[in-house]
């Protein structure tokens, strides 16, 4: 039997990370690991997905802390070669800049951008140290970078930073044959959008998409499958819109 590819889902207990983790667990070619930052119902849901592997494959990690991320890579790599990293870490903010406190601004940037930087940096360090060749790194950006809405300035700044990170690090990733990309997501039927956007506004946004709908986790499956595949080698440094044709 060929060895399974090791996949890390960062923030695997998030609203989109959880269904992606569940989907990947159905794929026989992958061995899946997932992180969570805080205990709670979503973390229990994540543990339940892994059943008898929960203790070893669900790893509590603060992705904002580079030392913890380094320990995470060391722990997972003891099981084999890490092939893919999917980064679902982040949180939305909804407050006008003029009313936001310094702590709120810094927290938004820290929570959204630093996990992406730490995961990228540690993946490169791991690839160099282990002399590996090949891998996939996928970050999550937001349609608000292209179409900002009021109250999201720190969030948009952080997501713009992720897109810059992908573009700027593609050459360095290429040294190790790692393809790095970002999915620029539109409005989905769960998670940040449903927590921070009024329902009447979400309904109007839905009408302004080509699909006349909000996104669902299932809409992510094909994109994630492709970006993790061997065939996506030449697809790197890209920001891929996945927003239902929002116009």
Give the torsion sign (CA, 59, 65, 71, 76): positive
Q: Which helix (H) or strand (E) holds 182?
A: strand 178-185
- Give the N- to C-terminal CA distance of the chain in Å, as an integer: 47
Listed by start position, the domains of the chain span 5-242
- For the whole model, what pTM was predicted? 0.92
The label of the residue with tokens 């140290």 reads: 129
Cα distance between residue 104 and residue 197, in whole Å: 18
Strands lying side by side in the sheet with 178-185: 58-60, 30-36, 5-10, 82-87, 135-142, 178-185, 238-242
Cα–Cα nearest to 230, from 189, 193, 172, 177: 177
Task: Let me know: does 15 contact 45? Beta carbons within 8 Å.
Answer: no
CATH of 5-242, one of 2.40.30.200, 3.40.50.2000, 3.30.365.10, 3.40.50.720: 3.40.50.720
pLDDT at 186: 86
pLDDT at 198: 64
Q: What is the pLDDT along the chain (247 residues), one digit of tens a residue?
A: 568 999 999 999 999 999 999 999 999 999 999 999 988 888 899 999 999 999 999 999 999 999 999 999 999 999 999 999 999 999 887 789 899 999 999 999 999 999 999 999 999 999 999 999 999 999 999 999 998 888 889 999 999 999 999 999 999 999 999 999 999 998 878 766 656 666 776 667 777 777 877 788 999 999 999 999 999 999 999 999 998 887 6
């Amino acid at each position: 039997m060929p060895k399974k590819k090791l996949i890390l889902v960062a923030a695997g207990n998030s609203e989109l990370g959880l269904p992606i983790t569940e989907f990947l667990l159905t794929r026989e070619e992958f061995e899946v690991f997932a992180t969570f930052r805080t205990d709670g119902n979503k973390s229990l849901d994540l543990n339940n997905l892994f059943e008898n592997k929960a203790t070893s494959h669900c790893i509590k990690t603060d992705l904002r802390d580079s030392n913890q991320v380094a320990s995470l890579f060391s722990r997972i790599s003891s099981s084999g070669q890490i092939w893919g990293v999917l980064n679902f870490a982040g949180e939305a903010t909804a407050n006008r800049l003029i009313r936001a406190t310094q702590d709120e601004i810094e927290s938004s940037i820290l929570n959204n951008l630093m996990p992406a930087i730490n995961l990228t940096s540690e993946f490169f360090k791991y690839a160099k140290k282990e002399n590996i060749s090949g891998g996939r790194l996928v970050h999550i950006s937001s349609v608000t970078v292209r179409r900002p809405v009021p109250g999201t300035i720190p969030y948009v700044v952080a997501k713009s930073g992720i897109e810059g990170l992908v573009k700027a690090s593609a050459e360095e990733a290429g040294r190790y044959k790692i393809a790095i990309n970002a999915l620029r997501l539109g409005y989905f039927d769960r998670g940040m959008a449903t927590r921070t956007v009024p329902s009447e506004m979400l309904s109007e946004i839905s009408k302004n998409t080509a699909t006349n709908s909000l996104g669902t986790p299932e809409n992510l499956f094909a994109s994630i499958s492709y970006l993790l595949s061997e065939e996506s080698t030449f697809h790197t440094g890209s920001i891929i819109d996945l927003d239902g044709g929002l116009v």
